[in-house]
Chains A and B, each alone.
Chain A
Amino acid sequence: MAKPEIGKGQLTGAERYKAGVIEYKRMGYWQPDYVPKETDVLALFRITPQPGVDPEEAAAAVAGESSTATWTVVWTDRLTAADLYRAKAYRIDKVPNSPDQFFAYIAYDMDLFEPDSIANLTASIIGNVFGFKAVKGLRLEDMRIPVAYLKTFQGPPTGVMVERERLDKYGRPLLGATTKPKLGLSGRNYGRVVYEALKGGLDFTKDDENINSQPFMHWRDRFLYCMEAVNRANAATAEVKGHYLNVTAGTHDEMIERAEFAKELGSVIIMIDLVLGYTSIQTISKWARKNDMILHLHRAGNSTYSRQKNHGMNFRVICKWMRMAGVDHIHAGTVVGKLEGDPLMVKGFYDTLLQPHTPVAPELGFFFEQHWASLKKVMPVASGGIHAGQMHQLLHYLGEDVVLQFGGGTIGHPDGIQAGAEANRVALESMVQARNEGVDYMAKGPEILAKAARFCKPLQHALDTWKHITFNYESTDTPDYSPQVTPAR
């Protein structure tokens, strides 16, 4: 067997295991000569060390604290093949334009992790290490999951293509709306919104993330009224439509009970919130595969740790984990709407969800090449402050495999919810038609919409109502590399 590579200044043998405290980088956690194996899990961290801590030591500390290390030397390491179990920081890059930060590349042997368990993977990678005192800030930017480990995961229960086949909807983005107001509607009133929006032309309606089973509307009541609405709308349009019934609950058993009831009523789709936790997400994903149910994930909570650049984790890593854990839909940004989303960052999220393979592309935040090993595609969902007048931009930035969700942009229509839904559907179909005909639809978007509004009054009224609405704020989560710059390899 080849001897493991040991970096400069590394201690070995009796010297390495003398009781006491030694620097992480001299304990085997900093190995600049290490060549990652095809089967290693790789992670890229943005590290802001405390003053006086050099980059190698900080990177080694992160590798150590996310794998085998504790604060002092322990002789029991010597009972193991410790070189294997130690994570290895193997490369450090400066962060462009941020002198106090750097990127550290860390490799983990695949055997550090339990197969088919996001909970176990993340307990190491984003576990104790994020509270470690020697670093002021730490952010997980990207991961490379080896094919061998990916293959232990089920992935999305349905996937984009099978979802389209089940719904019989091709060649255009899907349309949805979140029922508003978020809180307070009774089951009967809630179902009214669902019926109007679906009958008017949307493919999906949605529970909001915080609609579970509150005093104003208990879950069974919601499910029953929503399914009446869905089936009435199906009959009115001869289409397959759905309402994302949120099965998020306080306990695991309660969640499954709600999912079973959704199935009994014939729903094609259920929904969960990210705050369920990874174990529950994987459980309901397997239930969904077994029961032919599309699984929608609302990313409630993610911005608490994904938005700021100096600490937490990038949302693209959440996208990776969720494709592994197995969801069919995930909210991934709108570019033009009311929520955070730099265009390049959002493209990185969408590619993570939809591509079979992503090459290294620092401008998108891809620090590693990733092969997806036939895991199905996840449908990204664009939701939050979007309206029919932006249809050309939405199609341009987000493409065809996406659910465009116009909540306010449907329900807030001056002529009512059905009119709002129809305006969105007509705007979408006209834009897709123009794109397919080879029209420069980004340049001529407003013209295309105006033309369609001549035969569709509701679209005209939508355009009149929201024509000046934009959300031009600077993003906080932006790429560190501009598309022109190729970083040193």
Chain B
Amino acid sequence: MHENPRNMTQGTFSFLPPLTDDQIKAQIAYAIKMGWAINVEYTDDPHPRNTYWEMWCQPMFDTKDPAAAFMEVQECRKVYGNMYIKVNAYDNTRWRESVALSFIVNRPKHEPGFHVIRQEANSRAMHYTLHSYATEKPRGDRYK
């Protein structure tokens, strides 16, 4: 039976082979051309509802050079190479004022993923919660 190869597929390009640095730079260049601000975020808690990943830097509203923005990705990788890192492109124009593009640029070597915890309730109803194997350990000790 065919099964997709990854167990964490957040972000715009998670079903493609890992983006090369040149491919990442091309996406950053596109975002900057669209007038969006790049920021880099990282986490060791990739729960799908963990909205607030740690901000590596402020959104780069004034950075027009894709190479400069990509440098932040590289710097972040140096420090948090064992965590998830994503590039967000933020569009502050009216009627969007939200993220316009968001893709993973770094993954931990080992991705243990999640499992479902079921709490049986009345009349066969079920309350579900997702549990991340990685977060069984405290921050700092995950994904080692």
Q: Tell me the residues in window 424-479 of chain A with beta carbons closer than 8 Å to chain B beta carbons.
A: 425-426, 429-430, 432-433, 436-438, 452, 455-458
Q: Is the CB of A201 within 8 A of B26?
A: no
* B96 interface hit (Cβ, 8 Å): yes
Q: Is the CB of B27 within 8 A of A237?
A: no
Q: Which residue of chain A has its CB nearest to the CB of B47?
A: A238
Q: For the complex formed, measure the closest distance between the CB of A280 and the CB atoms of chain B, giving whole angstroms.
A: 25
Could you say which of B3, B7, B13, B127 contacts A433, with CB atoms under 8 Å apart? Answer: B13
Q: Tell me the residues in window 217-232 of chain A with beta carbons closer than 8 Å to chain B beta carbons.
A: 220, 224, 227-228, 231-232
* A188 interface hit (Cβ, 8 Å): no
Q: What is the number of contacts between chain A and chain B, taking CB atoms within 8 Å?
A: 128
- A433 and B24 CA atoms in complex are apart in Å by 10
* A36 interface hit (Cβ, 8 Å): no
Q: Interface with A: B59-67, B74-82, B100-108, B136-144, which one?
A: B100-108
Could you say which of A170, A220, A458 contacts B99, with CB atoms under 8 Å apart? Answer: A170
Q: Which residue of chain A has its CB nearest to the CB of B132?
A: A238
In the bound complex, residues from chain B placing their C-beta under 8 Å from that of A433 are 13, 16, 23, 27
For chain B, the count of residues having a C-beta within 8 Å of the partner chain is 47
Q: Tell me the residues in window 111-131 of chain B with beta carbons closer than 8 Å to chain A beta carbons.
A: 113-116, 123-128, 130
User: A-contacting residues of B (Cβ < 8 Å)?
Assistant: 1-4, 6-10, 12-17, 23, 26-27, 30, 46-49, 51, 88-89, 94-103, 113-116, 123-128, 130
Q: Is the CB of A239 within 8 A of B99?
A: no
Instruction: Show 24 A/B contacts (Cβ-Cβ < 8 Å), sorted by A.
Output: A161-B95, A165-B98, A168-B48, A168-B51, A170-B99, A170-B100, A170-B102, A171-B89, A171-B100, A201-B4, A201-B9, A227-B126, A227-B128, A235-B114, A265-B125, A266-B128, A418-B1, A418-B3, A426-B16, A429-B16, A430-B16, A433-B13, A436-B30, A456-B15
- A236 and B113 CA atoms in complex are apart in Å by 7
Q: For the complex formed, measure the closest distance between the CB of B105 and the CB atoms of chain A, giving whole angstroms.
A: 13
Known: A199-B4, A419-B2. A239 touches B16 (CB 8 A): no
Q: Is the CB of A240 within 8 A of B102?
A: no
- A228 and B114 CA atoms in complex are apart in Å by 15
Q: For the complex formed, measure the closest distance between the CB of B10 and the CB atoms of chain A, giving whole angstroms.
A: 6
* A343 interface hit (Cβ, 8 Å): no
- A266 and B49 CA atoms in complex are apart in Å by 13
In the bound complex, residues from chain A placing their C-beta under 8 Å from that of B113 are 235-236, 238
5 pairs of A and B residues whose beta carbons are closest in the complex? A171-B101, A231-B128, A436-B30, A171-B12, A238-B8
- A373 and B52 CA atoms in complex are apart in Å by 31
- A322 and B88 CA atoms in complex are apart in Å by 32
* A15 interface hit (Cβ, 8 Å): no
Question: What string of 1s and 0s marks CB contacts (under 8 Å) between A27-50 and chain B?
Answer: 000000000000000000000000
Q: Which residue of chain B has its CB nearest to the CB of A224?
A: B124
For chain A, the count of residues having a C-beta within 8 Å of the partner chain is 48
* A415 interface hit (Cβ, 8 Å): yes
In the bound complex, residues from chain A placing their C-beta under 8 Å from that of B98 are 161, 164-165, 170
Question: What string of 1s and 0s marks CB contacts (under 8 Å) between A405-418 and chain B?
Answer: 00000000001101
Known: A170-B12, A266-B127, A418-B4. A161 touches B100 (CB 8 A): no
In the bound complex, residues from chain A placing their C-beta under 8 Å from that of B95 are 161, 356, 377
Q: Is the CB of B96 within 8 A of A168?
A: no
User: B-contacting residues of A (Cβ < 8 Å)?
Assistant: 161, 164-165, 168, 170-172, 199-201, 220, 224, 227-228, 231-232, 234-240, 261, 264-266, 356, 377, 415-416, 418-419, 422, 425-426, 429-430, 432-433, 436-438, 452, 455-458
In the bound complex, residues from chain A placing their C-beta under 8 Å from that of B30 are 436-438
Q: Is the CB of A239 within 8 A of B1?
A: no
In the bound complex, residues from chain A placing their C-beta under 8 Å from that of B128 are 227, 231, 266
- A356 and B123 CA atoms in complex are apart in Å by 45
Q: Is the CB of A161 within 8 A of B15?
A: no
Q: Is the CB of B125 within 8 A of A238?
A: no
Q: Is the CB of A422 within 8 A of B15?
A: yes
Q: Which residue of chain A has its CB nearest to the CB of B2?
A: A419
Q: For the complex formed, measure the closest distance between the CB of A177 and the CB atoms of chain B, giving whole angstroms.
A: 15
- A168 and B7 CA atoms in complex are apart in Å by 16
Q: Is the CB of B9 within 8 A of A415?
A: no
In the bound complex, residues from chain A placing their C-beta under 8 Å from that of B1 are 416, 418
Q: For the complex formed, measure the closest distance between the CB of B47 and the CB atoms of chain A, giving whole angstroms.
A: 7
Q: For the complex formed, measure the closest distance between the CB of A310 and the CB atoms of chain B, giving whole angstroms.
A: 36
Q: Is the CB of A235 within 8 A of B125?
A: no
Known: A236-B7, A237-B8, A422-B15. A436 touches B26 (CB 8 A): yes
In the bound complex, residues from chain B placing their C-beta under 8 Å from that of A452 are 16
